Structure 1
Amino acid sequence: MSRGMMTNTTSLPPIGLIAGWGRYPVVIAQALKAAGHAVHCVGLKNHADPQLQDICDGYYASGVAQMGRHIGFFRRRGITQATMAGKVFKHKVLFGRWGWLSLVPDLQTFRMFFPLFIAGKKDRRDDTILTVIAEEFARCGIELAPATNFAPDLLVKQGLLTRRAPTAAEGADIEFGWQMAKEMGRLDIGQSVAVKGRVIIAVEAIEGTDECIRRAGQFCPHGGFTLVKVAKPQQDMRFDVPTIGLGTIQSLIAARGKVLAIEAGKTIVIDQEQVVRLADEQGLSIIALEDGRFP
C-alpha cells in the first residue's frame, strides 16, 4: 500500500475509486481532486495506471477478486460513495487455467460469486457480475455511483465532431448498424458493430472494441467501413459505459475504417480534443447521435 499526495482539508466527502485499465480512471481521479474531493483508490493489479499512486490521497494495489479487501480499504477511510472506471480484461479473469479461482478470490468474493461460478445458478454476463458487486458494496454501506457524475463533460454531446461528415451511404450504414448494436447491447453481448454496405462485418464481444475493429479490417481489407458504438438499451451508467479515446481512432486508422458513430449523452470520449484532431488529420468522420437517425 502506498500513499500519494495529500489534499487540503475540505467539507466534501472522500470518494473511493476502483481503477481498471486505461486513461479513464486517471481522468476521473483528476476531476475528483480538482473538485476538492479526497480520492482513495483501489488499483487493480495488471490493470491500473501507476500514476494514480501520485494523484490519489490513498492507494491500494489489489487483485480483481479481492472484493473484501477493496471494501475494507474503503471503510477504513470513511468512504460511503465509490465509483468504478477503466477496463477489466474479462477473458483473462474468467478463462485462466483454473478459471476465476486462478485469481485467488478472498472469502467475501467467493461468497458473492458462488451462485455464478460454482453453483451455476446465474449467467456471467457483465450486467450480472457488476450488479452482484454493487449489491455487496451497498450491503457494506458503500454506494457505487456513475463516474460521469464527477466528470459530466466526458459524455459526448450530439453533433458532428469532425470536419468530414458521413456520406449518405455511410449514413445508411450508421442507421442499420445502430439497430444491430442496440440489439447486441440488449443481449449484453457487446457495444460495437462494424458495417459496410449494410452488411455486418464484425461484432464486439468479450474481446473489446479495438479487437473488433482489427477483425473488421481483416474482413474488409480495402477499408471504408463504419463502426457504430452505443450504450445498451438498459444501460446502467455505473458500469461499462461506452468509451472511446485515441486508441480507438488509432485502431480505426490501422484497419482503414472511415466513420465512427457514437451515442450522444451515453458515450465517454477521453481526450476529445486530441481524438478529433487525429481523426481530422486522417480524414475520418466522428458523429454523435441520440437515436441513430442520420440527419
Structure 2
Amino acid sequence: MHSSALTGQLLPFEPGEPHRIGLLAGAGRFPISFAKVAREQGHSVFCIGVKGMVDEELAEYCDHFTTGSLGRFAKAIRLFRRAQVRHAIMAGKIEKRVLFERFRWVRHLPDWRALHMMLRYARKNRKDDTMLLAVIKEFARDGIRFGSALDYCPELLVKHGFLTRRKPSQSQWRDIRFGWDIAREIGRLDIGQTVVVNDMAIMAVEAIEGTDEAIRRAGTLCRRGGFTVVKVAKPQQDMRFDVPTI
C-alpha cells in the first residue's frame, strides 16, 4: 500500500487507478466538487447524502444517489457492499445542531448498527473526532476503508499564497497572527477551527454551530464590517472526515 503525501494515511488503493468510491455527503458544495472531479478521473461514485442537508444537485455527478438519515448506518453499508464499494470518503458539512433538537430521534432514528456504535463510543464523549472515528471503525468492520477526498482529488486543496489581487493590510496581518494561535488551540481541544478577530479582539469562536454561523454572529457585533476570519486545520486533523472548508 502507498502512503498519502497529503494526509499521511496508508492508501488502500493504487494512486491514479479508477475505483468505485462510496461518498457519504453532507451539506455544501464540497461533495459536488469532489464528485465532479472524481467522475472526470474515471471513478464511479456511489453516494448517500444526509437527508435534509445534502444538495440534490449532487445526484447529477453520481452513478448512484440516495439519501438517508444520520442514524442509518446499516443502509449505507448495505448499499456500498451491493455496489462492491471498498473505498469511501466523507465530504460536506453535518449540521450537528440537529442532534440536540426536539424529536431528533424521530427525524434521525438510528438503526441497530448506529445504536451499537453509540453504546460503544458515545459514552466517552460526543466530540467530532470521537464520533466520526467511530463511524469509520463501524464501516471497516464490513471491509469498507475510508480515505480523504484529497487523496483522490488533490487539486481540490487550496494553493499556498494569496487567492486575490488584494493582500492583507498590516492591521489584518496582526489580526491573522493573533487569531492563528487561538484557532489552533480550540482545534486541539476539538471545539472548532475558526475564530473571528477585530482589532486583536476575539468576536466569535466556532463551536457546534459551524463556521458560517460563527461568521454571521460576528457580523451582528461588527455591523460596519472590517473583521478577519481565521480558519485552520486542527493539529491532529484527520483529513478522512474533516477537511477544513469555507
Q: Counterparts of 1:106-125 in structure 2 under 5 Å?
A: 106-117=111-122, 121-125=123-127
Is it true that 1:68 corresponds to 2:74 in the alignment? yes
1:168-187 correspondence runs (5 A): 168-187=170-189
Asked whether 1:208 is paired with 2:210, we answer: yes
Paired with 2:38 and 2:159, the residues of 1 have a C-alpha distance of 21
Q: 1:19–1:41: 8 Å Cα contact kept in structure 2?
A: yes
Deviation at 1:240, TM superposition (A): 2.0
* Structure 1 position 14, deviation (Å): 0.8
Kept in 1, the 8 Å contact 2:121–2:134? The answer is no
Structure 1: gaps spanning 5 or more residues = 1-10, 245-295
The SS at the match of 1:41 is strand
CA distance in 2, matches of 1:124, 1:190: 13
Q: Indicate the residue corresponding to 2:47 in structure 1.
A: 41
2:159 aligned with 1:157? yes
Following TM superposition, by how much is the alpha carbon of 1:98 offset from its aligned partner in structure 2, in angstroms? 4.2
Using the TM superposition, give the Cα deviation of residue 113 of structure 1 relative to its aligned residue in structure 2, in angstroms.
Answer: 1.0
Shift of residue 99, structure 1, vs aligned partner: 4.6
**One-letter code of the match for 2:209?**
E
Secondary structure in 1 aligned to 2:56? Answer: coil
Say if 2:69 and 2:107, in contact at 8 Å, map to a contact too: no
Structure 1 position 84, deviation (Å): 0.8
Deviates more, 1:98-107 or 1:229-238: 98-107
- The one-character-per-residue Cα deviations of 1:105-157 (angstroms, maximum 9, x if unpaired) are 1111110112455xxx3110100000000111111100011011122111112
SS in 2 for 1:159: coil
Q: In 2, are the aligned partners of 1:24 and 1:86 still within 8 Å (CA)?
A: yes
Gaps of 5+ in 2: 1-16
Compute the displacement of 1:215 (Å): 1.1
Compute the TM-score of the two structures, normalised by the length of structure 1. Answer: 0.75
Q: Which moved more, 1:131-140 or 1:45-54?
A: 45-54
After TM superposition, where is structure 1 displaced by more than 3 Å over at least 4 residues in a row? 98-102
Q: CA RMSD in A?
A: 1.5
Specify the alignment match of 2:25 in structure 1. 19
Tell me how far apart the structure 2 counterparts of residues 99 and 34 of structure 1 sit (CA, whole Å): 38
Q: Return the alpha-carbon distance in structure 2 between the equivalents of residues 228 and 219 of structure 1.
A: 17
**Superposition deviation, residue 55 in structure 1:** 2.1
Matched residue, 2:147: 145
Alignment of 1:242 with 2:241, yes or no, is: no
SS, match of residue 136 in structure 1: helix
Quick check: 1:89 aligned with 2:95?
yes
The residue type paired with residue 40 of structure 2 is A
Mapped partners of 2:164, 2:176: distance in 1: 16
> Could you say which structure has the greater relative contact order, defined with CA pairs below 8 angstroms and 6 or more residues apart?
2
- Residues 54/170 of structure 1: CA separation in 2 closer, same or farther (3 Å cut): closer
Percentage of matched positions with identical amino acids = 50
1:125 alignment partner AA:
K
Which letter does structure 1 place at the counterpart of 2:119? F
Aligned length: 230
CA contact (8 A) 1:25 1:85 kept: yes
